[in-house]
Amino acid sequence: MKYLLVLAGAPGVGPTPGSDEFMQMLADYGTVTEAMAAAGVLVDSAPLQPPSMATTVRVRGGERQVTDGPFAEIREELGGYYVVDCEDLDQAIDWAAQVPAARYGSVEVRPALTMGPPN
């Protein structure tokens, strides 16, 4: 089953960019990503640009509305994601716990809904 691991954290929490701790965190991301790939569970992964780079699209009354910025004001920012294909939720949670974001913020584990082809 596929799971989306959503990495979130409050701005300014965690290691300072450029610090030794920050560089270790980046190395830790590389280690867990490589381990997921080696285990055959990694489908996709990427960090995200900051919320200031977001564009939000809505359609209301048949008209497209495009605004700069994230879709909602939130305390935590989405920092990246992993898509993993795991045997079960327990395995997905085990991988999520190894992602450095879990140490400084949170990793939400959400199962993907399997949809069949349209009839």
The pLDDT value recorded for residue 22 is: 94
The pLDDT value recorded for residue 116 is: 76
Q: Which fold has domain 2-111?
A: Alpha-Beta Plaits (3.30.70)
With 0-12 / 13-18 / 19 or more C-beta atoms within 10 angstroms meaning exposed / middle / buried, residue 5 is: buried
The pLDDT value recorded for residue 118 is: 67
The pLDDT value recorded for residue 68 is: 85
Whether 78 and 8 have beta carbons less than 8 Å apart is answered as: yes
The pLDDT value recorded for residue 119 is: 62
State pLDDT tens for residues 37-79: 999 999 999 999 988 888 888 899 999 999 887 666 667 788 9
Centre a 10 Å sphere on the Cβ of residue 112 and count the other Cβ atoms it contains. 13
- Please determine, for residue 112, whether its predicted confidence score (pLDDT) is greater than 90: yes
Phi and psi at 103, nearest 5°, equal -80, -25
Is 48 in a helix, a strand, or coil? coil
Residue predicted with more confidence, 5 or 67: 5
Centre a 10 Å sphere on the Cβ of residue 46 and count the other Cβ atoms it contains. 9
Whether 54 and 71 have beta carbons less than 8 Å apart is answered as: yes
The pLDDT value recorded for residue 77 is: 84
